[in-house]
Structure 1
Amino acid sequence: MPTDPPDPISAIRNLGPASEANFAKAGIHTASALRALGADEAYARLLASGTAPHFISYYVLVMALQGRPWNDAKGAEKLALRAKFDAIKAAMGPKDKGRSDLEAALSMIGVVERR
């Protein structure tokens, strides 16, 4: 009985073992599943699983799913990606309710105790 060939996320250009591990935490285990979800939904799932938001990681994911070099977008395209990233992040809501922006930022980097 033939088996399906491996379909690792790391087979997608620009995505390596660290990306693969983060996507696994978000319940995305194959390159085909990642492609089917698309960049926006997959990134939202990463954030929901606890991955800290970072524009470059979103940008790299979009470029990877398009088969482009990670730093290929320029000008208006990059600005549009930034706007989409900000919208995805905002839709996730605040992580540290009841804390000031400064306290939340300090918590994120481990300076104050996490709640």
Structure 2
Amino acid sequence: MASDLTTIPNIGPATARALAEAGIPDAARLRALGAHEAYRALLAAGARPHFIPYYVLHMALQGRPWNDCKGEEKRALRAQYDALLAETGGGAMTAFEAALDQIGLPRPRPVRAK
């Protein structure tokens, strides 16, 4: 059975797979948890922390475009995100990764040995 997670705006197949792997198999469970706790589950499942997916989940559950997060709302979400990382230990990153995260650029993916 295909997940209905992709019926939520801003959630594509890759995010739906990551959510399912984190124990959030459907839209009802995601809505029940909320964006903050869903992101906590993603971190616990091994997702690399990054602020953009955090606020995209918030916008998705509000039915808003992902890039609608601005100003004071974005600053407030950033504070919540930083607190979550501090709480979960998910904030362990290099200075370079932190700088990329601060300006909203994706971090380079690790090169896997063949």
TM-score of Structure 1 vs Structure 2, range by shorter chain: 0.7 to 0.9
Instruction: Please list every run of 5 or more consecutive structure 2 residues that lacks an aligned counterpart in the other structure.
Output: 99-107
More helix by share: 2
Superposed, 1:20-99 pairs within 5 Å as 20-93=16-89
1:110 is aligned to 2:101: no
Cα distance, 1:34–1:94 mapped onto 2, change above 3 Å: closer
Residue 104 of structure 2 aligns with which residue? none
Instruction: Please list every run of 5 or more consecutive structure 1 residues that lacks an aligned counterpart in the other structure.
Output: 1-5
Cα distance, 1:76–1:39 mapped onto 2, change above 3 Å: same
**Higher-Rg member (1/2):** 1
Give the aligned length.
Answer: 102
Give the TM-score of the pair, scaled to structure 1.
0.77
Amino acid at match of 1:60: V
Return structure 1 stretches of 4+ with deviation > 6 angstroms. none
1:18 is aligned to 2:14: yes
Given that 2:6 and 2:12 are in contact with CA atoms closer than 8 Å, whether structure 1 keeps it comes out as: yes
The CA RMSD measured in Å over matched residues stands at 2.7
**Percent identity over the alignment?**
55
Residue 3 of structure 1 aligns with which residue? none
Cα distance, 1:71–1:8 mapped onto 2, change above 3 Å: same
